[in-house]
Chains A and B, each alone.
Chain A
Amino acid sequence: MNDFQELYQEIVMDHNRRPRNFGELENPTSFANGFNPLCGDEINVYLELVDDQIVDISFNGDGCAISKSSASMLTDGVKGKNVSDAIQIFESFRQMLTRKPGEDFSSEILGDLEILSGVSQFPARIKCATLAWHTFHTALTEKDKSVSTE
């Protein structure tokens, strides 16, 4: 397997071709915009929170396969979760991507998202994978804000 095939695995390519939860929510309770000035990638995350639960989530925007599939898998991974669980997934995901070579990460709560662990070997692409997550985190904690990866 080529290095790039490890990065662009079938599940990633599938989410890139057919992103889940793509588009705008009709009645979002929260929204955030994320921008990576380095490459021009832009992502919007829409949330519908009821009490402490993410009842619905969607995203749209323009980005590379890594940022798009990461966003798509994010929406799948946190939909229906409560806020503190979602934040825990966010933390584990971030730890997985920014870990040092050989360092472990807790994969139990990540599920399919573990597929993206290979991104950590492509330092130039880590921000692509985390853009949606930072945007999501902002939507969750600050509401209607913009974030930038820089």
Chain B
Amino acid sequence: MININKIRNDFPILSKKINGHQLVYLDNAATTHKPRSVINSLVDFYENYNSNVHRGVHTLSMEATDQFEEARQKISSFINSETPQSIIWTRNASESLNIISYSWGYKNISEGDEILLSPMEHHSNLIPWQELARAKGAKIKYLSLNEDGTLDLSNIDELMTSNTKLVSIVHVSNALGTINPVKQLCDKAHEVGALFVLDGAQSVPHMLVDVQELDCDFFVFSGHKMMGPTGIGVLYGKMEILEKMDPVFTGGEMVLEVTYEKASWADIPMKFEAGTPNIADSIALGAAVDYLQNIGMGNIHDYEKTITSYGLQKFQELESEGVTLFGPKSSDLKGAVFSFHIPNIHPHDLGTILDGLGIAVRTGHHCAMPLIRSLGVSATARASFYVYNTLDEVDMLIEGIKSAIRYFSDGSN
């Protein structure tokens, strides 16, 4: 069970007032807040053992190295990877995907090959593949989408064939909340001999992920969406695949032996981590993992499911006012992400009005421009919840939307 008050007390920012109102933060798909333990971990590093890693024999450097590698170990057990070596530190999910594209993609994708994506990919899991396809003469294909924002797999055998070399899919959609059937897609990809990349930016913060059980070849995510700091992300890859990949970046820390003519690479993961890594933020991401595991990923998922169910029910009440909610209408198929449109109120106006009430939502295309256009709108408003949000905050959102509708229809509120 979740003690929501105790959790909320761990997040200093949640007691902040915005425009005279208690902050209601519903922009968690963009980035999440940080518990005190994560913030303290950053301070602790800089105050007590700030030092570079892997290259000193002095005490501070050894302590920094131990903590840095322990954080890698924490991430590894969090997503159940085979070994901590398969965890590569990056800046964010976007960089992780770019590394896959530039390293694995440029080596293994050739003319006529096909890359299969879903129509709901974040630009980060779209543009690297577009660029790769353009450079190599490969082709990008898209799965189909059902009316309710779930994937239509009825024509999967036509789309996934022996020409398909790579399938890259978002686990949970940041724009619609859709939870995709990734195990099924991964197995199917392997059947046709393709690699399977999973974008876990919106899944790993909210549910238990086991990369070995899923059997995905790559898994990427960002620390800042799971209570960790900005500037730190993860690329997981299966060892046998990482071993055959070349580094994208070269320089210090990633070499075994260097002469004036050439260099040989250090072992994985160092091979992919040129230069001084983001030590403080890696360690703080480890602290975020501790925090999440302490609550329990199962508990987090169950609690957010109640928020999703309640939100779905409340949005139904807004249907009579013409409000359209996009994405699946069942909490089994959707995370706590509500993307919606109100006739005659532009999402930006709604965003400003809600902000006046202390409610933070995101408005725009949510880095999924083609998807939002396909919904027939130029932008949506999106409210996305996390484990520190409450059912009361769902009510406040709904009330805020209602007063915006009233204000825009007749100028009263």
Contact = CB atoms under 8 A, between A and B. Distances in A.
B365 A40 contact: yes
Given A2-B356, A3-B356, A40 B379 contact: yes
A65 B353 CA distance: 12
B349 A64 contact: yes
Interface string B341-365: 0000111110011011000000111
B15 interface: no
A12 to B, nearest CB: 10
Nearest to A3: B356
A10 interface: yes
B376 interface: no
Given A40-B364, A63-B346, A64-B348, A4 B378 contact: no
Nearest to A125: B352
A13 B378 contact: no
Contact of A40 (B349, B378, B407, B411): B378
A8 to B, nearest CB: 7
B378 to A, nearest CB: 4
B349 A39 contact: no
Contact of A4 (B356, B363, B411): B356
A4 to B, nearest CB: 4
B369 to A, nearest CB: 8
B352 A39 contact: no
B408 interface: yes
Interface in A1-26: 2-5, 7-8, 10, 13, 16
A14 B348 CA distance: 18
Contacts of A38: 364
A4 B354 CA distance: 9
B313 interface: no
B19 interface: yes
Given A8-B407, A39-B364, A39-B379, A64 B356 contact: no
Given A13-B408, A13-B411, A64-B346, A3 B19 contact: yes
B348 A4 contact: no
Contacts of B407: 5, 8, 13
A9 B345 CA distance: 15
Interface in A60-99: 62-66
A56 B407 CA distance: 32
A13 B405 CA distance: 12
A143 to B, nearest CB: 27
A140 interface: no
A128 interface: yes
A4 B353 contact: yes
A39 B347 CA distance: 9
A44 to B, nearest CB: 15
Interface in B359-375: 363-365
Nearest to B355: A4
A42 B379 CA distance: 12
B171 to A, nearest CB: 27
B408 A125 contact: no
A125 B348 contact: yes
Interface string B373-413: 00000110000000000000000000000000001100101
Contacts of B378: 39-42, 62
B348 A128 contact: yes
Contacts of B349: 8, 64-66
A124 B361 CA distance: 14
16 contacts: A2-B356, A3-B19, A4-B352, A4-B355, A8-B353, A8-B407, A39-B363, A39-B379, A40-B364, A40-B379, A64-B347, A64-B349, A65-B345, A65-B346, A66-B349, A122-B352
Complex A-B, nearest 6 residue pairs according to Cβ-Cβ distance, in ascending order: A64-B346, A4-B356, A40-B378, A64-B348, A65-B349, A4-B353
Given A64-B346, A65-B345, 13 more contacts: A3-B19, A8-B349, A39-B348, A39-B364, A39-B379, A40-B378, A42-B378, A64-B348, A64-B349, A65-B346, A65-B349, A66-B349, A124-B352
